[in-house]
Amino acid sequence: MRVIVTSNNEEIGEIAGGMITKVVQDKPTATLGLATGSSPEVVYASMIRAYERGEVDFSQVHTVNLDEYLGLTPDHPQSYRYFMDSHLFNHINVPKENTFVASGVGDEEECVKEFRSILNRTHVDIQLLGIGEDGHIAFNEPGQVLHNNAHVESLTESTIAANARFFANEDEVPKKAISMGMGDIMRASKIILIASGYKKADAIRGLIMDENVDVQNPSTMLKMHPDVTVIIDRPLADLVGYTD
């Protein structure tokens, strides 16, 4: 696992965005695994700038997203489909039909079946990840067992509280989500995990300062992947005691 420490959050976006752009420059038909949350916003801004400068062409790219809230329609401002359209897809030339965000509405089993069938046919060249305060990646929450494949996940109290900032109040946060499984994430050729802010300290400490894999911090499974880059800013690195 490679760890990069940046001086600020903008630089996280530049480095992660640059790595994703490079994959597309080298392989114009690449499949990108994409993430939501506030952390990836700087990454998408950097990809949009590269596109506007004419450095990258997304016209043959496919994308698949990590997860979606159950119960939110695609036009709900807090749905992950809405987030992806407004923060990235509407600003680059990826054909909308090449982008997949799992459906959060309709029969749950059918949604999972459709997500699994897409993932069975997809190989992700580079996967972008944020991390939850409790160490979740996508919506794979800490627990006795971790899921290999796409599934429905009940969100932990910590995740509901953390994500309440995007909603009018905590009661409005969906309690369930559809998510890629850990295996789906681990099958990507390359993985980038980005984090900043003191609230991520426990999760990042477990990921980069401890050698073990712990189901109570699902991100730690990434230690078993051969090509993972963790990008954090200096204040977070200092907080967890990481020195490069």
Contacts with ligand GLP by CB under 6 A lie at 35-39, 66-67, 130-132, 138-139, 159, 163
Which of 125, 153 has the CB closer to ligand GLP? Answer: 153
- What's the min distance (Å) between Cβ of 29 and ligand GLP? 25
Q: By the 8 A CB rule, do 223 and 204 touch?
A: no
Cα(112)–Cα(100) distance, integer angstroms = 13
**Minimum distance, C-beta of residue 201 to ligand GLP, in the bound complex (Å):** 13
Residues 6 or more apart from 16 whose CB is under 8 A from it? 40, 42, 43, 46, 128, 192, 194, 231
Provide, rounded to whole angstroms, the least separation between the CB of residue 166 and ligand GLP: 8
Tokens of 8: 């600020």
Which is nearer to ligand GLP, 114 or 133 (by Cβ)? Answer: 133
List, in order, residues 6 or more apart from 89 with CB less than 8 Å away. Answer: 63, 96, 99
Q: Identify which of residues 23 and 218 has a Cβ nearer to ligand GLP in the complex.
A: 218
C-beta of 35 vs 101, nearer to ligand GLP: 35
Q: Least separation, in Å, of the C-beta of 193 and ligand GLP?
A: 9
* Separation CA 96–CA 33 (nearest Å): 15
- CB of residue 219 to ligand GLP, shortest distance in Å: 9
Tokens of 48: 């949009």
Under DSSP, the state recorded for 147 is -
Q: Minimal CA–CA distance to 219: which of 125, 153, 134, 123?
A: 134
Q: How far is CA 7 from CA 14, 39, 152, 230, 237, in A?
A: 11, 15, 37, 14, 10
Rounded to the nearest whole angstrom, what is the least distance from the CB of residue 54 to ligand GLP in the complex?
29
Residue closer to ligand GLP (CB basis): 42 or 61: 42
Q: Which is nearer to ligand GLP, 39 or 63 (CB)?
A: 39
- Residue ranges of alpha helices (H) inside the chain are 9-26, 41-52, 80-87, 108-120, 157-163, 182-186, 201-208, 234-240
> 103 or 163: whose CB is closer to ligand GLP?
163
